[in-house]
Amino acid sequence: MAASSGESWQVFINFRGEELRGNFISHLEGALTLAEIKYYIDTKEVPSEDLTVLFTRIEQSEIALCIFSSKYAESKWCLDELVKITEQVEKGKLRIIPVFFNVTPEEVKEQKGEFGLKLYGEGKRKRPNISAWENALDSVPSKIGLNLKNFRNEREFVDKIVDSVKRVLEVIPLNGISKDLSSVSDSNGNISSSHIEQPKALPLDYGMEQRLKQLEEKLDFDSLETQIVGIVGMPGIGKTALAEMHFKKWNNRFVFKKIIRVIREEINDESDWLKDTLLNGKELNHKAQNFKRKIFVVLDDVSHKNQVKFLLKNLEWIKKGSKIVITTRDKSTIAELVHDIYIVPGLNDKDALELFKHHAFNDQDSSKTGNLLKLCKKYVDYAGGNPGALKELGKELCGEDEAHWEARLATLPHCCNPKIQSELRISYDKLSEQQKDAFLDIACFFRSEEEDYVKCLLDPYGPDSSEVVRDLAEKLLICISAGRIEMHNLLCTFGQELGSSDENKSGKRMWNHEKIKNTLRSEQIILSQRIKKETPWLKWVDLSYSNKLTDLSALSKAFHLRRLNLEGCTVLDKLPEEMKNMKSLVFLNLRGCTMLSSLPERLDLVSLKTLILSGCSKFINFELISENLEFLHLDGTAIQNLPWAIQNFQKLVLLNLKDCKMLKFLPECLDKLKALEELILSGCGKLTSFPDTKEKMENLQILLLDGTKIKELPNILLHSCNFKGQVVLHRSPGMNGLSMLRRLCLSRNEEICSLHSSISQLYHLNWIDLKYCKNLLSIPTLPPNLQCLDAHACNSLKEVASPLALLMPTQKIPCSFIFTNCEKLEQDAKKEIICYAHNKSRMISDALNRHNKGLAFEALVATCFPGSEVPAWFSHRASGAVLDPELPRHWSKSGFVGIALCAIVSFKDHTIQNNNLQVKCICEFNNVETSSSYFNCHVGGLSETVDEQRMIKSTHVFIGYTNWLNINKFQEKDGEKECVPTKASIKFEVIDGTGKASNCEVLKCGFSLVFESGSWEASSRREDLEQVENRWLGPLRRIRRFLPL
């Protein structure tokens, strides 16, 4: 039977059939089959004198299992096979595992005993090949064989043989087969797992080491599960190089391994191409199905997910533990197929500079300095960490003088390197026509613009714009960062160069002012009334700050217009009636059109989502123009009321009426706006009432009423009002309607005197602004998740509730309560504020581990109020800005969770500069060995987000609690785990937006260690703490029924 040239085997078994076939060999065959190892024995061939077929089988094998028994040397067949085996071993093409069955290695190697008698029994004259056989037997590596006498029974012996075969298969390298197994055997001649070849060490440079480490975190080569990982990145970023290096490092663990660099487009569902290709074109289908083995495959530059699906099929032919790496430029290609994705980052500045210099200077005199080094850095900045670009730009400049470098740098943003362009063109050509248009538009016009803005402009028909932007991001042609669409310099240059050419079906793009003027002149293009006929497919128009624009009739036929920006058109006094035909208009900006008084009657812009009339100071009448409005800006207009039809705005999310000085009334139907999240009434000085709201406004999150003259708060907060010179906030069934309220601003309202305690039920409320509420007398208990209360300059404020705010047992939210310039605050109120700060700091200790993981220090509780004394509960107090406390022994191991800090600051009518003031301190902790640890801690402060300056009078108390979870970690890092600091030095300072505040002085300061309530340090205060907890948690328990589940 002829041997197929495409066949291959893992193990060739060389043995004396007459002696072993019926028992030992049958057990060995079963064990090899069970282990999915493909083996060959001579029973599969037709017996003959011609050994050509058997020799071919040996050549096709990776391991020869030579089983020496007492009658082995009788067989000419066995001995001739052994000669062929030793020849293959010498060539480095085969590994041999000797097995000694009831004979010793010495008997075989030296041809002694019964084994020798069988070899020489007929005499050398009748066995002419005996010299070759002796040499073959002499070459048997006796030290690494497996000997039956070392095992308790044949079953154990068989298991060990199979295990040894498996281990040898695992360590066969890709580039050849070692003829010696001594590196994987122990002193007893057994194949040892502890000596299995480890992954090869590889030379790493230019940032590859870090990338490789990050990739290896996603592929566990010790896992028994099959893993598929994608490597994704823009062209030239180094996907293939990374995959190849990863493959070279780990492929020695696998028998079947392959890097497939050409994924053919014609692969189809019927193909077994991967199976057929995995072993250099040999037939793998039969092989894989007969003895499934683990594989390690790299599929490089996959462009379509169907290619992967067709290649891998259902993975049934792949054994568990296989590893598959796929590189692609398109993340969506593999998103549904892989277990994890590694997005290849750009090189850091240092590695990028070294790589660029390596190619630019041909690795000679690469330590350039002066102007040439500055030029290098500019090229590196442009390349944005892309290794491929750095390489090509370096090669392009290699050998050129400095003048050429300067000239090329000037053209770099406009003229792409040909090889870089070729790589980028591959990605571009695979885009759909719509994606190509979007890519070119972003490159030419919209780089760094807001995502929503770009989406609006890209798609003339609406629903597909988000998909187009997402698709480009998935293909790594753009990225979305902080809500803006960004593009790599290389891609932008490529896109602009392509977009400004005449080859595009979508037309030539122009964005440079001078080029546009020159083109208009050279082509003798003029603007005329014909533009009316050319506008039906116009998508967006920006005529902002056209201060002579009075007529928009040229846009009357722009039926598909999506975005119209007329901001700052100060002489525009009306819009054309034909605007009613703009059924696709989504965004209309009329900000600052100071002559505009109204919109056209019966204007129905069905697609309009955003309308901006901010600063239209003569705008008086607002009518319903679209029921799909989501954002309505009427701030700074002259409107006196809103129409009842506003109740039809069921999608309205934002209603901005800030500084509508003429607004006197709000419609009673305001509660019909079910989608409303933000209502801004700031500065509506004539607004004296809020409508009775009978329905829930459960999506309302922000309610700004600052600067109004509202005497009664919304009825949704007021079930009944006994108004006698006070505005009170009463508990009501409608309270759940504000369950999502997060921000409430009542500042500069001179009518409000107090708030009702039911405000504590607003569970999600995290910000209350009461600044300059001059007639506010008291503050009730506040809700548990409040992060900021600002009561600055509440000149009449005397009382705060007890407790000041509810505490949650799992509290972990930082908070700041500000009472600056509240000069009438009573002593009991100050004690309550101090009590709140002290006990909240203890309450959050259980959640600190989840809140702060680093060594940075963050003020979790901060408060300030007029005063001149450090609270008595601070264990260490001093005059001035410096404190040097002694620390108790073992303080860091006794339930320690943080530190409390206090500073008494004199301001002397200090005006806060640049809207920022902070009280900070520098902490130095020393141990007995005089080593020190330094930390900067935040005590408290003020920070304005609006353009107004505060003046602080008199002397104020600042208290801050700072967690300190990582002191032990810090000590371990410095080898000082057993050297707990025993002394501290703390220095306080006041800084503002200009630096150290020179006219502010720290008069006194305080410091205290804070411990868990169950620790020994806190046990002396346990009774006081339990009383406080009962007092503070009691109200919270009573309102649980109001909290959302």
pLDDT category of residue 730 using cuts at 50, 70 and 90: very low
| Residue 840 pLDDT > 70 | yes
Domain end among 291, 319, 343: 343
Of residues 539 and 967, more confidently modeled:
539
Q: What residue has token string 């008291």?
A: 778
**Residue 678: inside a domain, yes or no?**
no
534 vs 189, more confident: 534
- Taking 60 as the threshold, does the pLDDT of residue 971 lie above it? no
Question: 355 lies in a domain?
Answer: yes
214 with 268, same domain: the answer is yes
Q: How many C-beta atoms lie closer than 10 Å to residue 953's C-beta? A: 14
Is 424 found in the same domain as 315?
no
Model confidence pLDDT, tens digit, residues 49-63? 567 888 989 998 989
| Count of helices and strands (H, E) across the chain | 29, 38
- Looking at the fold, whether 235 and 302 belong to one and the same domain comes out as yes
**pLDDT reported for residue 505:** 66
Question: Across 3-60, where does the E strand assignment appear?
Answer: 9-14, 39-40
Report whether pLDDT(203) > 50. Answer: no
Specify if 710 maps to a domain: no
Give the domain CATH number at 154. 3.40.50.10140
What's residue 534's pLDDT? 62
500 within a domain of the structure (yes/no): yes
Do 226 and 186 share a structural domain?
A: no
pLDDT at position 808 over 90 = no
The number of distinct structural domains making up the chain is 5
Predicted confidence (pLDDT) at residue 65 exceeds the cutoff of 70: yes
- Residues 68, 129, single domain; the answer is yes
> Do residues 742 and 766 lie in contact, with contact meaning Cβ atoms separated by under 8 Å?
yes
Of 19, 62, 74, 81, which one is the catalytic site residue?
Answer: 81
Question: Are residues 279 and 376 located together in one domain of the fold?
Answer: no
At 695, is the pLDDT very low, low, confident or very high (cuts 50, 70, 90)? Answer: confident
The last residue of a domain, from among 343, 368, 397: 343
Same domain, 285 and 322: yes
81 as an active site residue: the answer is yes
Q: Is residue 657 part of a domain?
A: no
Average per-residue pLDDT in the chain? 79
Candidate from 8-17, 634-643, 788-797, 835-844 with smallest mean pLDDT: 835-844
Check whether residue 102 and residue 153 sit in a common domain.
yes
Whole-number Å distance between alpha carbons of 413 and 415: 6
Task: Indicate if the pLDDT at residue 497 is higher than 60.
Answer: yes
| Amino acid in position 832 | E
The residue ranking higher by pLDDT, 795 or 189, is 795
The answer to whether residues 926 and 968 belong to one domain is yes
CA 172-178-179 angle, to 5 degrees, is 130
The reported pLDDT for the residue numbered 601 is: 86
**pLDDT band, very low/low/confident/very high, at 321 (cuts 50, 70, 90):** confident
Does residue 232 register a pLDDT over 90?
A: yes
- Cβ–Cβ < 8 Å for 885, 876: yes
Strand ranges in 821-965 using DSSP code E only, listed in sequence order:
859-866, 876-879, 882-883, 896-906, 910-911, 916-926, 932-943, 951-952, 955-963
pLDDT tens, position by position, 577-617? 888 889 989 999 999 999 999 999 888 899 999 999 999 99
Report yes or no on 718 lying in a domain: no
SS3 425: helix
% helix / strand / coil in the chain, to the nearest 5? 35, 20, 50
* Domain boundary pick from 296, 317, 343: 343
pLDDT at 757 over 90: no
Query: Rounded CA gap, 752 and 252, in Å?
Result: 78
Same domain, 362 and 387: yes
| Burial letters 749-770, b for 16+ CB under 10 A, else e | bebbbbbbbbbbbbbbbbebbb
Residue-level pLDDT at 796: 95
Inside any domain, residue 59: yes
CA dihedral 119, 124, 127, 128 (to 10 degrees): 130
What's the pLDDT tens digit per position in 887-942? 887 676 667 777 889 999 998 767 776 667 889 888 887 776 555 666 677 888 88
User: Does residue 200 carry a pLDDT above 80?
Assistant: no
> Per residue in 857-875, pLDDT tens?
456 789 999 999 999 889 8
Please give the structure tokens belonging to residue 775. 């007639």
Query: Residue 622 falls within a domain, yes or no?
Result: no
Strand partners, 660: none
Q: Do 406 and 449 have their domain in common?
A: no
pLDDT in tens, 240-282: 999 999 998 888 777 677 888 756 554 544 455 555 555 444 4
pTM to 2 decimal places:
0.60
Per residue in 995-1044, pLDDT tens? 777 778 999 999 988 776 544 344 334 334 344 444 444 444 443 333 33
Burial class (CB in 10 A: 0-12, 13-18, 19+), 264: exposed
pLDDT value of position 617: 96
Could you give the percent of the chain with pLDDT greater than 90?
35
CATH number at residue 292: 3.40.50.300
232 by DSSP, 3-state: which? Answer: strand
Same domain, 931 and 1011: yes
> Is residue 400 over pLDDT 60?
yes
Q: Running DSSP on this structure, what letter comes out for residue 1015?
A: S
Q: Rounded to the nearest 5°, which phi and psi values hold at 846?
A: -70, -20
- Residue 158: give the domain boundaries: 9-195
